[in-house]
Amino acid sequence: MPDNETRLSNLLDKRSASNSYRSINLAASQLIDFSSNDYLGLARSESLKANILKAYTESASSKNGSTGSRLLTGTSSILEATEHELTQIFETKAGLLFSSGYMANLAFFSSVPQKDDTILYDELSHACIKDGCRLSLARKFPFRHNDLNQLEQKLSKAEGNIYIACESVYSMDGDFAPLERLVELAQQYGAKLVVDEAHSTGSFGKGGAGLVNALGLREKVYAAIHTFGKGMGVHGAFISGSKTLREFLINFARPFIYTTAPSDFECISISQAFRFLEKNQSLQQDLQARIALFQTLAHGKLPLIQSSSSIQAILVPGNSKIKQMSQSMYDQGFDVRPILSPTVKASEERIRICLHTYNSQEEITKLVSTLTTYLS
């Protein structure tokens, strides 16, 4: 048996040979950004930054760090106030703040579904949902992406308490979950629908409350997981649901119990981001205008996956081809990133375009023209 370093090196060599080797890249600030998740431009907003720093500086009770877990010394008055504010924004009975969407999904799916329960999750669900399911003692089965017929077949055979997991906007394809129909199926079979709102929080709904709230489905969805590191431009996440769910997570979710609490600065940033969006709701309309422009220009010219969200995916099968295309776009001043297998299925590699409020009409027009020329 090879020693550990050799074994790890062999696995890295295998990944390199398949052209799927990952590396860390600095944000390309000199390029036109069509890659980041900063859909509304809040992460780069100088006005929001000033608001956050002013609120943090003027808060007499804020500390640099939270100093411990929530159950020990980590719960501050600022954190509690932020959670209360978020319950109002998301129009939910209760909720719990986490350091990231990954941790929130891991906490929910590893603890709430019990032995003899069943989790049915969309096959394109994010890795954190799948990792949470792996840690759960419940049975877990994927269903084909947005395939309601297959989901219903599996619902008819599911046992125990049944949980349906999906994303409101899918991170790789940019398409929407059929939330109304999922709610109907959940009600028909007595299942609990759990929606990851990572890519809709901020971009949709009153005050950035997400797609579930925008569709008036909040009372019919068992739990929604909101992430703030994308459209909201800051960091952290929030699980909204019942008071009982909140208390259960506090008592049984290991990713909540055994981790350091979010800092006061994180909490103030979240609060200020939502207050900023409330005063600048036109940002959502600005984003929709950018999406409509891109789709009009790209129609019939680019091999797009159908999407009405900020995420537009151009399919170019093969890791080598998609990496070459990304490098060519980089050389021409565009920050667009390749999505390689195994992150997506082999033959479904793609360029992932993210549209933002700060992308100008000229930039979007030039992007589509450059992509079209490359693929012609």
Radius of gyration of the chain, Cα coordinates, nearest whole angstrom: 21
Token readout for 92 is 């939910």
Separation between Cα atoms, residue 5 and residue 152, nearest integer Å: 47
Query: Among 125, 136, 171, 263, which one carries the catalytic annotation?
Result: 171
Catalytic residue list contains 37? yes
What is the pairing mode between strands 237-241 and 32-33?
A: unpaired
Catalytic residue list contains 167? yes
Query: Among 38, 167, 173, 349, which one carries the catalytic annotation?
Result: 167
Query: Among 38, 83, 117, 196, which one carries the catalytic annotation?
Result: 196
Catalytic residue list contains 199? yes
End-to-end CA distance of the chain: 50
Going by C-alpha positions, the residue among 235, 277, 265 that lies closest to residue 52 is: 265
Catalytic residue list contains 145? no
Separation between Cα atoms, residue 77 and residue 39, nearest integer Å: 30
Token readout for 72 is 């020990």
Query: Among 35, 37, 203, 359, which one carries the catalytic annotation?
Result: 37
Catalytic residue list contains 220? no
Query: Among 192, 199, 226, 356, which one carries the catalytic annotation?
Result: 199
Alpha carbon distances (Å) from 91 to 79, 87, 95: 18, 6, 10
Catalytic residue list contains 247? no
Query: Among 111, 126, 192, 319, which one carries the catalytic annotation?
Result: 126
Separation between Cα atoms, residue 119 and residue 192, nearest integer Å: 9
Cβ 141 vs Cβ 152: under 8 Å? no
Catalytic residue list contains 51? no
> How would you label 59-95 residue by residue, b for 16+ Cβ within 10 Å and e otherwise?
beebeeebeeebeeebbbebbeebbeebbebbbbebb
Alpha carbon distances (Å) from 372 to 32, 229, 298, 322: 17, 31, 8, 14
Known catalytic residues are 37, 126, 167, 171, 196, 199, 230
